[in-house]
Amino acid sequence: MADAARSFEIIGAPFDGAATLGYPGSRYAPDRIRQQLGWITQRVEAGAVFSLETGALHDAPQIIDGGDAHVVGHDLHATLAHTSARVTESVRSGNVPILLGGDDCFLFAGSKGLHDATEGTVGVIHFDAHLDVMDRNEQQGTHSQSSGMRRSLELERARTEHSIQVGLRHFNFPSSHDYLERSGLARITATEFDAIGTAAAVERILARTDGADHVHLSFDIDAIDPAHAPGAGALEPGGLTSRQAIDTIMALAPHCDSFAVTEVNPMTDHQDMTATLAAYLCYYFAVFGRRRAEG
């Protein structure tokens, strides 16, 4: 089993003040995901869990609940600073942080937390229906749920050439097109992911992040089709399936140093379908990420 110093640490971020577009309500997600995670972890016996995917027994990961980051309801920037500091603290303590949003402004907090805790370069794997590369606009400012990837890649040691976005679809701002052209940020749209399949998509993602010293994996739940994840900040048809998401997390987990799930919205969820899926993504990350955590 992983020792206590190599635990996966749950950190909640119960804040949706940057969700000026889309549905509010993701502030309630951390507790709901924790509840569903409890149903999964009760299957551990004698420090082991049986995976039906692999047909094998796996050492159960050590998962600790570090509580919630300090949220300042009226102050987005203070909330981001407190949350990134909690992620940094977790990494420096030898843990692997699993950040539960909250809205997708926490893509930036997770990236910055890993960046500030480590030396060397940082790559970002960003699952989302949307690009999140907005610089600023009147309604959202500079650090909203639409700016997290851009702000992440502005960090001193973040590397665009080792970062990638996955699950993108439909329409976005022309200014975002211009940013992608200038930056060279890689992407796999939802249509392309479905066409090439999970294994090929994972291969492309890992080829892109190869060379980064550290990798942050952030998963906006709206990367998944609303048929599988109805409780999201925005409903964008044509996304990844829950099966594709689980298989992808299983494959990427050993290569990532931190994880975040954002935009789960219990206010619009149906019988905890989305919170349950988010909890499974977290648990798969922990089970299959143990090799990275112990390395």
Q: Residue 166's beta-bridge partner residues?
A: 127, 188
Residue 292 pLDDT level (bands cut at 50, 70, 90): low
pLDDT > 80? residue 19: yes
pLDDT > 60? residue 4: no
Residue with tokens 């190869």: 210
pLDDT digits (tens, 9 = 90+) for 112-161: 999 999 999 999 999 999 999 999 987 777 788 879 999 999 999 999 99
pLDDT > 60? residue 295: no
**Range(s) of the domain holding residue 194:** 4-294
pLDDT digits (tens, 9 = 90+) for 224-235: 999 999 999 999
* Token reading at 95: 């843990």
Residue 2 pLDDT level (bands cut at 50, 70, 90): very low
Residue 80's CATH number: 3.40.800.10
**Given this model, what pLDDT does residue 94 score?**
96
Please list, residue by residue across 61-84, b when 16 or more beta carbons sit within 10 angstroms of its beta carbon and e when fewer do.
bbbeebebbebeeeebeebbbbbb
Percent of the chain whose pLDDT exceeds 90: 91
**Given this model, what pLDDT does residue 21 score?**
83
**Total domain count for the chain?**
1
Tell me: cis bond preceding 102? Omega within 30 of 0 counts.
Answer: yes
What helix, strand, coil percent values describe the chain, rounded to 5? 40, 20, 35
CB 233 within 8 A of CB 145: yes
Mean pLDDT of 233-260: 97
pLDDT digits (tens, 9 = 90+) for 21-43: 888 999 999 999 999 999 999 99
pLDDT > 70? residue 3: no
**Given this model, what pLDDT does residue 140 score?**
75
